[in-house]
Structure 1
Amino acid sequence: MSKEHEPGSGPEAALSTDQAIRAMLLVMPRVAARLKRTRIPERLRSFNLAPRHLSLLSYLLFDGPMPVNELAARLEVAPTTVSLMVGDLSRQGVLERRTDPADRRRTIVTITEDVETRSAIEAWLAHGANAWRRAFEQLTPDQRAMFVRTIETYEREVSGSAD
């Protein structure tokens, strides 16, 4: 079957639930395989970074410095897990920790000011961000929101933690 005859291949093609499920079951393994093959920039290769590091670095790059507890909440992991990740990446010079001047009990985490490391992190995230930009530009704001909510629901369902 040629691509132009596959359900959902046209810009205005409507899909039944079963057609959409089929399409997603076929595309998701390819997406996962491509993500696994995403090359980590040379500057970051020795740091043994995993997907969870990508999420942590994304939050810090896009949203700026934040406390460990906020990172833990966003990553949906325990603060001790984030503390271990941050400690490891701090020793490697990727992240910096500092005490919050407003509350000395809180630790604020930020990406290092080292230009080479920061540029490598930005380059690592840029490919995915650019691909999402091209995919989302063709959608309306409501369609984008629906897509994001759908993926979040799928992730919850697959993990078995649906509300």
Structure 2
Amino acid sequence: MKAILIGMAVMALVAISYLRGRSKLREVEQVDRHFTEKFQIEELLGSVSYQGGFPAIPRLTPLKVGLAGNSLVLYSLKGEAGSIPYRQIRKIEHFTTRTKANLKNKSVVFWGPFAPMIFKDKYRHFTLIKYTDIDNDENNLLLELKDSGTCREFSRQVSNSWSSFKKNSQ
């Protein structure tokens, strides 16, 4: 009898988790749809980790980035959003940083020869967008991406969209 009650409780928890997850996915889709319509986003580039440099979104948070007709649109799932017009962008570049693993503080007795395999160097991939903000000040938007390939692809897409805007506006 106890096993049946425990099984029913587990099934109820699984069902509740499923329903909550499904409702969260619907909320994310609604936010995407709302900002796609509001800013008329043509292409959604995906999610990035925002590291700073955009006054409309003051906190470090995961962002979604999209390309609208003549601007780069950034928005969070909390409803914070803003755009950077292409005419204000000065430069787009990507770079990688490496933090070496500190093996000196790791116990050789405990980890043995496995320490170099467990504690590896950490690589972070960034795209930097230099632009002029509303107050006519130079500002830098720093976006972190998961790996080198997605960082290059993201930078390439934004650069291509920006350069095609520059060609059309001349």
Relative to the length of structure 2, the TM-score reads: 0.31
Greater Rg by CA: 2
Normalising by structure 1, report the TM-score: 0.32
Higher percent of residues as strand: 2
**Between structures 1 and 2, the one with greater helix share:** 1
